[in-house]
Structure 1
Amino acid sequence: MSANENAASWFVDRHVTEGRGAKTAFREAFGTGRKLSYGDLAEASGRVAAALSRAGHRREERAAMLVLDQIEFPQIFWGCLKAGVIPIPLNTLLAPDVYNVILRDCRASVLFVSAELLETVSPALSGNPYLRHLVVLGDAPAGVETGPARSESWDSFLGDAAPVPAVEADADEVAFWLYSSGSTGQPKGVRHVHHSLRYTADTYGAEVLGIEEADTVYSVAKFFFAYGLGNAMTFPMSAGATTVLFNGRPTPEVAVRILSEEKPTVFCGVPTLYAATVAHLEGQGGAPEVPLRRCISAGEALPEEIGKRWRALFGVDILDGVGSTEMLHIFLSNRPGDVVYGTSGRAVPGYELRLVDEDGREITATGEIGELLVSGHSAAEGYWNKRRKSRTTFEGEWTRTGDKYEVTSEGRYVYCGRTDDMFKVSGIWVSPFEVEQALVAHPGVLEAAVVAGRDENGLEKPRAFIVPKAGQDGAALAEELREFVKARIGKWKYPRWIEVVEDLPKTATGKIQRFKLREVA
């Protein structure tokens, strides 16, 4: 690696000097014909850096990115890093009031926005005292009030800018921010340094995923997620592989079509999509021929039954893992040839894990439940302007995950639930996830979520919300499930109440928002 530790030098420009300039780095799905080679990306990101400087955006100022998964995204992200400007990819599925909070919180001086999202974000732009520049990718809808005094198209922004090299940067310099999902409160700005990108590629990307130059990757999770940023950009780019991009909603039908047409070798999904896709394919009688060699999952723990059914369809295991925005990617995972469904596996090389009780004492006994703490060099520098929250999450070299786990005698970690989701029945901890796994093991259940409900005596007991598969009688299914769960995991853990619903509330990452179900309960 050169003396310049700007991540763009290694992830982008290195491929040109090593002879991969003509290799396709990104291509858009479904025949758009748009693709980007590593050489094109090196030039385009250099032009973005020059255009940012020409427009007066200074080093360490922030560039918000409300950009779909399209070939302009990596050009902007790496162009910002080359300029020393801090890119902030934003969730493309939020409401205007949330964008207003985030844009004012990060004080972005420029916003890059896909034309399809301009109308949604426009109400958040009016009166923003920090935003000086709006760059629209594509044709802006007519009659939309953009707010900032200066707005222009992507082509106009780049103009005749000549590419410039990446600015000198230290490995520990803040490179980019990501905003947490905000599933239980306002989003928090998570600040990551240049070194973190390389670290996750060298650990999970190389040691677990085993990414190779010949791979073609499709990630259901979008670029703006920490999980998607690694899957679709930094891991493939670390090896000179190719990524397939899709800018729409990844339904089971879409996922199957991409698998069928684009023939990825690496598929990166989330449990809810795996479950829905398995049900879709089983209904069709089988899976298409796809050269998959790796499938991974994160976001929530993968139900054991879904992993086994996916393997039966495609002949390849799902490597279930655990990561976070704060740690940038997966730090605990199952590995190729070492998969035990129903567990989250073992620590990824380069990370250390430990469990602590409610008083912060380390738990070493097998089967005891504690909060998971992780140590590794991809940890964020902290939250933007949230010192108290930073101090409670980042404790020296250790980061609190907010997840409850237990460790088996073989050293595997078993997910029990979020710290806020756990509850006790008769003085014993109940894992909502364990009950949910038992529920989805029933052939009539598509999805399930479990929270604490209170009985007539005010005591907490499991309450379940289920989404039945098509054609199932919800009322009859609910009665059957009580006995089904008793037989699988024990009589005292069965849900006392079972509510049949059409869908479950989720974040944009596919995580079930149990706090909303607790409000109902």
Structure 2
Amino acid sequence: MNENAAVYFVDRHLDEGRAAKTAFREADGAQRSLTYGALAEQAARFGGALERHGVRREERVAMIVRDQIEFPVVFWGALKAGAIPVPLNTLLSASVYETILNDSRASILVVSEQLWDTVKPAIDGNRFLRAVVVIGEARDCDGKECVSFDAFMDGAHPVETVDAHGDELAFWLYSSGSTGVPKGVRHVHSSLKATSDTFGAQVLGICEDDTVFSAAKLFFAYGLGNGMSFPMSVGATTILFGGRPTPDAVFDILAREKPTIFCGVPTLYAALVAAQEKAGTAPVHCVRLCTSAGEALPRDIGERWEKLWAAEIVDGVGSTEMLHIFLSNRPGDIAYGTSGIAVPGYEVRLVDEHDEDVAEGDVGELLVRGPSSAEGYWNRRSKSMSTFQGHWTRTGDKYERTKDGRFVYCGRTDDMFKVSGIWVSPFEVEQALVEYPGILEAAVVARADDKDLIKPAAFIVLKEGAEIDTDALKEHVKAKIGMWKYPRWVSVVDELPKTATGKIQRFKLRTPEPAE
């Protein structure tokens, strides 16, 4: 049996009568759409165009592509031809693109024309790329073949979907780089269906009648599941938006496109709640369910959202290494401020520094095993061995388990610290901070005082027009979570450093400052 993921997610829909069903619809630009039938035809022709350009099986096809209808064509077309699509973050700098393109040794690059000025310097000295395909008008590539997407596709003969084993490498994703340089994470064909059969079907409950809008982009694991594999597993429709998901843009899409499932990240939910509360009107939408991942969702934001929108946010935790969410709340069983329980098909453990299971209520590192674990990192053998240990994958997240079996996020392993000999969870302090009036976002890191003792330091983003009394804020945190956990330093900043997936880059906030 052919276990190429394109058979299940693309070809199958033609046999099941969905050729005329809209698979993707753009919410910006020309607002183009793509049916399942057109996707199958165009993906097959893209695979043929790759073969015509000499792309062999398992060669990498880098994608610096916005959320637009060419994204699924390129991704599935590469899989059909047996090539390895490598979607990349569309918000990186030229120097990072240069590093990744050289690391992956991609032979073909597909890039959206809006990103050309940033990408161009990254390809000038690249010796692996044979061709650059621009979605838009062709550009000058200084000696490399550079063609428009239309010209690349013109006259290409469609390929039959190549036979592939479920354990065969299918695509790569580069990690978000929340702690440093992105790493190439290699996934196999069976992982896409595994996440659809578990979180997509058994937690999200997605069905053919759903329309999905994911503000989280397709280039990273969370967005790839939300906006492509989950809806395509059931023949649903996805709304694509290539622009920046500002509150105004999201409000417009939710009212105009009427998605039934909305997928966001905590930063965006906080901004949407603040904007809606300021507007003082009821939101216009058809959303029945929301999801959140990337960072843990603060309890206060979840509760305020549900009050405003009458739609639950299913908050969970996933990773690039596990492809999507493996620990989650469930519709009808939401406990905001927690990450819920293991998704069906996955097992989790909390372990101490000796890999022994910790007691209930104690903090431990989260380990997970399940059907979507990555095959490993590219060119990072030592890191692969330390992360992927047999059936178990180390997440690098610290959690505690409550009496009712729910898991509460405490922070990244590198972010946890002790105050007066007691572990402090940055996320717990951050939750207390954002519950204070006037605070939109918060991040907490460890800092040494004048006696070289470790204490919490907070960075806060204020709501528009808000002012803050830092002494009153500290007293609020003391009353909420404990005398020793309050931030000794409070810095007001315009924004917090984040990855494109919404994860706070706390390591960028650890620069020492003079003790107060």
Q: Does 1:298 find its partner at 2:293?
A: yes
2:437 is aligned to: 443
Q: Does 1:401 find its partner at 2:399?
A: no
1:372 is aligned to: 366
* 1:511 equivalent among 472, 482, 503: 503
Return the letter of the residue paired with 1:85.
A
State TM-score, norm by structure 1: 0.97
Q: Does 1:391 find its partner at 2:394?
A: no
* 1:485 equivalent among 442, 467, 477: 477
User: Relative to 1, partners in 2 of residues 1:513 and 1:520: Cα closer, same or farther, differing over 3 Å?
Assistant: farther
Shift of 1:362: 1.6
Shift of 1:208: 0.4
Counting only pairs closer than 5 Å after superposition, residues 287-326 of structure 1 correspond to structure 2 as 287-326=282-321
Q: Does 1:246 find its partner at 2:244?
A: no
Q: Is contact 1:127-1:147 (8 Å) kept?
A: no
Q: Does 1:186 find its partner at 2:216?
A: no
2:220 is aligned to: 225
Shift of 1:456: 1.3
- What is the alpha-carbon distance in structure 2 between the residues aligned to residue 282 and residue 147 of structure 1? 52
Return the letter of the residue paired with 1:370.
G
Higher mean C-alpha displacement, 29-38 vs 186-195: 29-38
User: Percent identity, aligned pairs only?
Assistant: 66
Q: CA RMSD in A?
A: 1.0
Aligned residues: 513
Alignment partner of 2:255: what SS?
Answer: helix
Alignment partner of 2:172: what SS?
Answer: strand
The CA deviation string for residues 106-154 of structure 1, in whole angstroms up to 9 with x for no partner, is: 00000001111111111111121110011110124xxx64245211111
Q: Is contact 1:286-1:313 (8 Å) kept?
A: no
Shift of 1:472: 1.9
State TM-score, norm by structure 2: 0.98
- What is the alpha-carbon distance in structure 1 between the residues aligned to residue 11 and residue 143 of structure 2? 33
User: Relative to 1, partners in 2 of residues 1:148 and 1:18: Cα closer, same or farther, differing over 3 Å?
Assistant: farther
1:333 is aligned to: 328
Return the letter of the residue paired with 2:126.
N
2:268 is aligned to: 273
Q: Is contact 2:44-2:77 (8 Å) kept?
A: yes
- What is the alpha-carbon distance in structure 2 between the residues aligned to residue 508 and residue 519 of structure 1? 22
Q: Is contact 1:125-1:148 (8 Å) kept?
A: no
Q: Which segments of 5 or more consecutive residues in structure 1 lack a partner in the other structure?
A: none
2:25 is aligned to: 27
The CA deviation string for residues 28-60 of structure 1, in whole angstroms up to 9 with x for no partner, is: 004723100000000000001111001101111
The CA deviation string for residues 41-96 of structure 1, in whole angstroms up to 9 with x for no partner, is: 00000001111001101111000001000000000000000000000001000000
Q: Is contact 2:140-2:146 (8 Å) kept?
A: no
2:134 is aligned to: 136
- What is the alpha-carbon distance in structure 2 between the residues aligned to residue 219 and residue 111 of structure 1? 25
Alignment partner of 1:519: what SS?
Answer: coil
- What is the alpha-carbon distance in structure 1 between the residues aligned to residue 173 and residue 282 of structure 2? 35
Counting only pairs closer than 5 Å after superposition, residues 65-76 of structure 1 correspond to structure 2 as 65-76=63-74
Higher mean C-alpha displacement, 201-210 vs 460-469: 460-469
1:263 is aligned to: 258
* 1:381 equivalent among 370, 375, 381: 375
1:362 is aligned to: 357
- What is the alpha-carbon distance in structure 2 between the residues aligned to residue 463 and residue 129 of structure 1? 46
The CA deviation string for residues 372-415 of structure 1, in whole angstroms up to 9 with x for no partner, is: 00000100000001100000000000000000000001000000
1:117 is aligned to: 115
Shift of 1:473: 2.0
Higher mean C-alpha displacement, 504-513 vs 5-14: 504-513
- What is the alpha-carbon distance in structure 2 between the residues aligned to residue 256 and residue 317 of structure 1? 17
1:464 is aligned to: 458
Q: Is contact 1:453-1:460 (8 Å) kept?
A: yes
1:17 is aligned to: 15
The CA deviation string for residues 284-330 of structure 1, in whole angstroms up to 9 with x for no partner, is: 01332211111000000000000000001110111000000000000
2:407 is aligned to: 413
Return the letter of the residue paired with 2:348.
L
Higher mean C-alpha displacement, 272-281 vs 463-472: 463-472
2:491 is aligned to: 499
2:4 is aligned to: 6
- What is the alpha-carbon distance in structure 1 between the residues aligned to residue 503 and residue 319 of structure 2? 12
- What is the alpha-carbon distance in structure 1 between the residues aligned to residue 110 and residue 143 of structure 2? 12
Return the letter of the residue paired with 2:230.
F
Q: Does 1:177 find its partner at 2:172?
A: yes
1:454 is aligned to: 448
Q: Is contact 1:26-1:35 (8 Å) kept?
A: yes
